[in-house]
Amino acid sequence: MKPGKEKELCTHLVNKMIFGDKRDVFDENLELFKSLSSRKDFQSKEQLEDNDDDSTKVVEKRTLEKYFEDEWMPCKEKWAGYLTSQLKHFGCVTTQRVKSGHNALKRKISALQSLNSSFEQICSYILQFEGDYQNLELNEATITDARIYHEPRLHRLIHHVSRIGLITICAELLEEVVPGELCNCRVKVVFGLPCRHDLPRDRMLLLSDIPERWILSSSLGERLKQLECDVSLQKIDIEKPAPWVKCITKLEQLFRQCEGNQQVQNLMAMVDELVDNAGEIIDHPNFVFPLA
């Protein structure tokens, strides 16, 4: 295997340890990672003593395996998926988002300018950021995915619950519940949303069924009112979901599981291929998309 490919594989294995939520998946990938990272070509030169005189520098070679064992394993509860999946982390398991926040600000500032103009640029960046945030809030309250309109149980939540919350609940409602099944749903533990086992199946959902965090701020008062008084819970008949709802929901889940641009590109290539070869399937009534 080429060294570049090995590096890529190591990164892939670490990602699997970070994002997989099962203990055996972690152990399996750790074993593979160890066998790959113990090789000589994964050595780093580390300077133990930094003397002015170059000739007395003490240099130690450490393999990637040793580095991983010393630096990563002692704090695995902070990154190993099977441990972090027991915490409510809302999908943030790396420092990537904080870093992209810093990066976005840094892109707006030049290193070669006076302190004064730097402050001015930071100020205009924050104003722009605030405006974008308000637009996002407006979008959340006004734009609804076609799948949500297609699910009658969610009708009373439209324009009141955040988009990603609605889509996650919608996906949970599409899942069958096996009686007696153990509930350790990621949706519940990691995102604090009701899972397929908690959601009522035969009535409309109310704001009081949804945790406060997922309600748009303008609708929090309405949620409080529903909690205080008994709102009549009308039973409704539920139809089988249309095939396109399941397909799009699955595709979105796959998209959100992608780590990095390469995986997104691979997924999109598969979708393109499918659409190119779909032919007459596209005209089938099951695949006619409703207009939202």
Q: Stretches 162-170, 187-195, 252-260, 268-276: which one binds Zn ion (CB under 5 A)? A: 187-195
The two tokens of residue 66 are 């040793």
Element (H, E) at 43: strand 43-49
Element (H, E) at 225: helix 220-228
CB of 74 to Zn ion, least distance (A): 32
Q: Stretches 5-13, 182-190, 228-236, 278-286: which one binds Zn ion (CB under 5 A)? A: 182-190
The two tokens of residue 140 are 């959340």
Count of residues engaged in binding Zn ion, rule: CB under 5 A: 4
Residue 181 binding Zn ion, by CB under 5 A: no
Which residues on neighbouring strands pair with residue 44, listed in sequence order?
Answer: 62
Selected from 87, 127, 143, 183, the binder of Zn ion by CB under 5 A is: 183
Of 146, 183, 197, 188, whose CA–CA distance to 165 is shortest? Answer: 188
Q: Is 61 helix (H, G, I), strand (E, B) or coil?
A: strand
CB of 91 to Zn ion, least distance (A): 17
Q: Stretches 131-139, 185-193, 214-222, 242-250: which one binds Zn ion (CB under 5 A)? A: 185-193
Q: For residues 113 and 120, what is the distance between their CA atoms, to the nearest angstrom?
A: 11
CB of 101 to Zn ion, least distance (A): 32
Of 30-69, binders to Zn ion (CB under 5 A) are none
Residue number with CB closer to Zn ion (44 or 253) = 253
Q: For residues 52 and 88, what is the distance between their CA atoms, to the nearest angstrom?
A: 49
CB of 180 to Zn ion, least distance (A): 12
Residue 249 vs residues 32, 87, 171: alpha-carbon distances, Å: 33, 25, 6
Residue 195 binding Zn ion, by CB under 5 A: yes
Residue number with CB closer to Zn ion (196 or 223) = 196
Of 25, 138, 35, 43, whose CA–CA distance to 82 is shortest? Answer: 25
Selected from 156, 163, 197, 203, the binder of Zn ion by CB under 5 A is: 197
Furthest-apart CA pair in the chain: how many Å? Answer: 83
Residue 76 binding Zn ion, by CB under 5 A: no
Residue number with CB closer to Zn ion (158 or 174) = 174
